[in-house]
A and B are shown apart, each in its own frame.
Chain A
Amino acid sequence: MGDSHFAGIMDITEYIKLVFTDYTLRTITLGTAILGAVTGMLGSFAVLRKQSLLGDAISHAALPGIAIAFLITGAKDSNTLLIGALISGLIGTFWIRGIVTKTHLKSDTALGLILSLFFGFGMLLLTFIQKQPNANQAGLDKYLFGQAATLVESDVWLMAIVTGICLLVMLTFWKEFKILLFDADYTKTLGFNTKLIDILITTFIVLAIVLGLQTVGVVLMSAMLLAPAAAARQWTNSLSTMVFLAAIFGAFSGVFGTAISASQDNLSTGPVIVLVAGVFVVFSFIFSPSRGLLFKQIRFIKNRRDLELHKTLAFMHHIAETHENISHPHTIKLLNNFQGYTRSTLQKLVDKDYVHLNGNMWSLTKTGFEAAANLYTKQSTEDE
């Protein structure tokens, strides 16, 4: 599965030069990049429509179509097989929808059903084909796990054309897609044909998945659809930015994945691309400024510190209130039976000129007293 004839190329500049000169490497890099971009783009819609696992189901459901197309035409021409895959993927998708809308089975059951049943049927057909005499069936199983190395220039052209059409349709119907995504009922009342828009989006998602089967295979295709979109979602709340970012993440996953698998022995391209996309996701989960886990944790700790500081100040204020002179010194020991107090919070209060320290006695300053008095009556504007 690995592209072993690129083994030993570790030098980056040399590798980049090779991308431009070597036919195979250039084709694969371009193919995976375009594939990553288009799946990332359409994946954004799948993720936002809560159809994340649809990709998994469709990619499995495409298998019998490939087998039947081969049985009928006997041709290994990838375009014919892709049309078969597209048809059976669409049948699977609409059957899933039929199950969900017409019966009380839930969508997870419907997805799992179609996925496993279609795939099993596809396997039956594939093994049946393999047993046929004279069948030139070699190469059909590349759709199972994907073989980026088998990409040829015409495949890349096909991908580029589909991506172009997809981009064109998306720009034309941008408003409709967007509004359907966020408020389907409103779209209907506005008089849009929601069914048609829905079918349009779904068809393009199926198309993108089918295109990717040859490169990354049935099992990993769903990750290609999801990962760039899930990563992009963390950085923005705007649909257009998200689609754009997802396309970029997808394309880079393709390029980096190809580079890594080409520079090592025995590394299949598909899984490496998926893992690279996974790295994008993990990075986004952790480091995204507004939603990321890291900054969330930092904000959490900061808020807790602020709260402790405020509590200490309020406690001091409570004591100082009972004295005529607000700056009357008190012993630090008094604070010990209060939870929020630590030496560092006290020092922070001193730094802010709220508290005056003298030996092991403290006294509230005038500004400190006022700040404490207003602590719960108005939002303090200068947050720490």
Chain B
Amino acid sequence: MSNAQLEIQLIASLVAVACAIPGTFLVLRKMAMISDAISHSILPGIVVGFFITQDLNSPLLILLAALTGIITVVLVEYIQKTGLVKEDTAIGLVFPALFSIGVILIAQNANDVHLDVDAVLLGELAFAPFDRLLIGGADVGPKSLWVVGTILLITVALLILFFKELKISTFDKGLAASLGFSPAIIHYGLMSVSSVTTVGAFDAVGAILVVALMIAPAAAAYLLTTDLKKMLALAIGFGIFSAIFGYWVAHWLDASIAGSITSVLGLVFLVVYLFAPSKGIIAVMYREKQQRTEVSLLTFLLHLKNHDELEERHVNHLREHINWQKVRAKTVLDLAQKNNMIHIEKNIVSLTTKGDEFTSKAIDYIMTNEDAQIEDMKDDFFLFRG
């Protein structure tokens, strides 16, 4: 592994961490699309900043561009406040307009600007190690490493300092306000950090990867835990893993590093989305199926309790009367038998004492509208779940 390769992976990992932290809060605050808006609308800020500084890594340019990001947020909120359109429409109107201005500015000054829209959107991590920072003639490392490192340091410092405030204002704005810290300040603080991170990272990894690195690790982490600290740690972990693994995939395919990191992020999310223990799609579908069977079981038991007539309780009758498919009737019947709720004698089904008790309780809960209690009750009675 050469020095440049190591540096690229280091930069990518740092960007991943710097993005995961604000990203987690954006996802929790339902503002994920704001990061997309910011990543596009900083373009005019970058162009204007570039005219002034002539250096893509200058701190002034980063501040100017970040300011554009904040202007985007303010504009979106202003439009939203007029009540003329909904928030998402406001976002969708503001950033393409600003982005268009940026594209036109670049095209108009194509001769003076070595700035490519492609580069802004997609970035080129492979070139990052060649832009060195020289202090007094000594080479201290790639410029973007320093830029991203500084941003990350500030982000982490802010996170540790204001963790409690961030947490409370994210989950309970009213409580935060009543405790005396303004949700508005925290909101704009978070927006500023997101803007600065986006700008600082765009040169290395491009705007789209910034969005992916903000949202995808946080979303995957959110499917695995509901604890904020664990979620942050998981998001950071996913980010770093995708950054390093993505680099090697790009190396192997000889393709864009940013695109490859995003694709790995996509795979990570896909795996979590499918297999997350309680919130993954498979777990959810399994639980839904289980609940369907159990509701059928309950209906079936209630039916038994209501009918003493033999013909109503005949096994074959179930299919006609409750209109169940053969398979489903069999599943429900088996489940009930396994749980000792019913016994079958000469194809006549009747409730056992346990089944009778269960059904009475269930009716009780349904009558008193305490449907939630039924879940606990199932735990008490069921030996096997549906």
Partner-B contacts on A (CB < 8 A): 1-2, 47, 50-53, 55-56, 60, 98-99, 102-106, 108-109, 111-113, 115-128, 131, 141, 144-145, 219-220, 222-223, 225-227, 230, 233-234, 266-268, 270-272, 274-275, 278, 281, 285, 291, 293
Question: Given contacts A103-B279, A108-B32, A267-B107, is CB(A293)–CB(B82) below 8 Å?
Answer: yes
The 9 closest A-B pairs by CB, nearest first: A120-B262, A124-B259, A223-B96, A271-B100, A123-B259, A116-B212, A127-B256, A117-B266, A112-B32
Point out the residue from A103, A120, A125, A270 that lies within 8 Å of B258, measured CB to CB.
A120
- Known contacts: A275-B101, A291-B84. The answer to whether A116 contacts B121 by CB under 8 A is no
A-B residue pairs in contact (CB < 8 Å), sample of 18: A47-B86, A56-B92, A103-B281, A109-B215, A111-B32, A111-B33, A112-B215, A113-B212, A113-B216, A121-B262, A124-B263, A127-B256, A128-B253, A145-B117, A219-B40, A219-B99, A223-B93, A275-B100
Contacts of B281 in A (CB 8 A): 98, 102-103
Among candidates B208, B259, B279, residue contacting A127 with C-beta atoms closer than 8 Å: B259
Residues of A within 8 A of B107 (CB): 1-2, 266-268
Residue in A112, A123, A271 whose beta carbon sits within 8 Å of that of B103 in the complex: A271
Q: Is the CB of A103 within 8 A of B256?
A: no
A223–B93 CA distance with the chains assembled, in angstroms: 6
Q: Check A230 against B259 for contact (C-beta < 8 Å).
A: no
A2, A52, A99, A278 pick with most chain B CB within 10 angstroms: A52
Residues in B whose Cβ lies below 8 Å from that of A293: 82, 84
Give the chain A neighbours of B223 by CB distance below 8 A.
103, 105
Picked from A47, A144, A234, the residue with its CB within 8 Å of the CB of B121 is: A144
Q: By the criterion CB–CB under 8 Å, are B30 and A108 in contact?
A: yes
In chain A, what residue has the closest Cβ to B40? Answer: A219
Q: What is the minimal beta-carbon distance from B196 to any residue of chain A, in angstroms?
A: 19
Rounded to whole Å, the gap between the CB of B50 and the closest CB of chain A is 17
Residue from A109, A112, A128, A220 whose CB has the most chain B CB atoms within 10 Å: A112
Q: How far is the CA of A122 from the CA of B40 in the complex (A)?
A: 18
Q: Which of A125, A271, A281, A285 has the largest number of chain B CB atoms within 10 A?
A: A271
Whole-angstrom CA separation of A123 from B206 in the bound complex: 11
The CA of A227 and the CA of B215, in the complex, are separated in Å by 26
A124–B103 CB distance below 8 A: no
Q: Chain B residues near A223 (CB, 8 Å)?
A: 92-93, 96-97, 100
**Chain A residues, Cβ within 8 Å of B295:** none
Check if B35 is an interface residue, CB within 8 A of chain A: yes
Residues of A within 8 A of B97 (CB): 223, 274-275, 278
**Contact code string B245-264 (vs A, CB < 8 Å = 1, else 0):** 00000100111101111110
Q: Mask for B19-35, Cβ within 8 A of A = 1, else 0?
A: 00000000100111101
Whether B96 lies near A219 (C-beta < 8 A) is yes
A contact patch SS: helix
Most buried by A among B35, B36, B91: B36
Write out the residue numbers on chain A whose beta carbons fall within 8 Å of the beta carbon of B273. 99, 103
Q: List 15 additional A-B contacts (Cβ < 8 Å) besides A119-B212, A275-B101.
A: A1-B107, A2-B107, A51-B88, A103-B223, A103-B281, A103-B284, A108-B33, A112-B214, A118-B266, A124-B255, A125-B255, A223-B96, A234-B84, A268-B103, A274-B96
Whether B262 lies near A123 (C-beta < 8 A) is yes
Q: Which of B206-257 contact A (CB under 8 A)?
A: 208-209, 211-212, 214-216, 218-219, 222-223, 250, 253-256
Minimum Cβ distance to chain B for residue A314 (Å) = 32
CB distance from B258 to the nearest CB of A (A): 7
Contacts A102-B284, A222-B96 hold; do A112 and B211 have CB atoms under 8 A apart?
yes
The yes or no answer to B89 lying at the interface (CB within 8 A) is yes
User: Which label, helix, strand, loop or mixed, suits the secondary structure of the B interface?
Assistant: helix
- Please pick, from A51, A98, A120, the residue contacting B208 in the complex, using a CB distance under 8 A: A120
**A123-B91 contact in complex given A111-B33, A219-B99, A274-B100, C-beta closer than 8 Å:** no
Give the CA-CA distance A270 to B273 in the complex, in Å: 36
CA distance A222 to B259 in the complex (A): 22
The CA-CA distance from A349 to B192 in the complex, in Å, is 53
Q: How far is the CB of A2 from chain B (nearest CB, A)?
A: 6
Contact B215 A113 (CB under 8 A): yes
Given contacts A116-B212, A141-B118, A226-B89, contact A220 B99 (CB under 8 A): yes
B108 within 8 A of A: yes
Chain B 118-159 interface 0/1 with A at a Cβ cutoff of 8 Å (1 = within): 100110000000000000000000000000000000000000
Q: Is the CB of A120 within 8 A of B261?
A: yes
Distance between Cα atoms of A98 and B282 in the complex (Å): 12
Q: Closest A-chain residue to B220, C-beta based? A: A113
Chain A residues near B122 (CB-CB < 8 A): 123
Once bound together, how far apart are the Cα atoms of A281 and B96, in whole Å? 13
Q: Tell whether B85 is near chain A: CB-to-CB under 8 Å.
A: yes
Supposing A52-B88, A219-B96 touch, asked if A131 and B36 sit within 8 A by C-beta, the answer is no
Q: Name the one of B216, B218, B255, B279 contacting A128, with C-beta atoms under 8 angstroms.
A: B255
Kindly list chain A residues whose C-beta atoms are within 8 Å of the C-beta of B101.
271, 275
Contact across chains for A220 and B96 when beta carbons are under 8 A apart: yes
- B269 interface hit (Cβ, 8 Å): yes
Most buried by A among B103, B118, B284: B103
When the two chains form the complex, which single residue of B100, B218, B262, B284 contacts A119, counting CB atoms closer than 8 Å? B262
In the complex, how many angstroms separate the beta carbon of A37 from the nearest chain B beta carbon? 19
The answer, yes or no, to whether B199 is at the interface (CB within 8 Å) is no
* Residues of B173-211 contacting chain A, CB below 8 A: 208-209, 211
B110 within 8 A of A: yes
* Complex: A376 Cα to B93 Cα, angstroms: 45
B104 at interface, CB cutoff 8 A: yes
Q: Tell me the minimal C-beta distance from A283 to chain B in angstroms.
A: 12
A152 to chain B, nearest CB (A): 23
Q: Does B65 contact A (CB under 8 A)?
A: no
Q: Shortest CB–CB separation between residue A353 and chain B, in angstroms?
A: 40
- The one of A56, A105, A128, A219 in contact with B219, judged by C-beta atoms closer than 8 angstroms, is A105
Residues on B with C-beta less than 8 A from A234 are 84
Q: Distance in Å from the Cβ of B194 to the closest Cβ of chain A?
A: 12
Chain B residue with minimal CB distance to A132? B254
- Measured CB to CB, the closest approach of chain B to A96, in angstroms, equals 12
Output the nearest chain A residue to B109 by Cβ-Cβ distance: A266
Distance (whole angstroms) from the CB of A60 to the closest CB of chain B:
8
- For residue B329, CB closer than 8 A to chain A, the reply is no
Answer whether residue B8 sits at the interface, using C-beta atoms and an 8 A cutoff: no
Query: Across the interface, do B93 and A47 meet the contact criterion of CB distance under 8 Å?
Result: no
Interchain CB contact (< 8 A) of A230 among B93, B103, B266: B93
Q: Across the interface, do B121 and A219 meet the contact criterion of CB distance under 8 Å?
A: yes
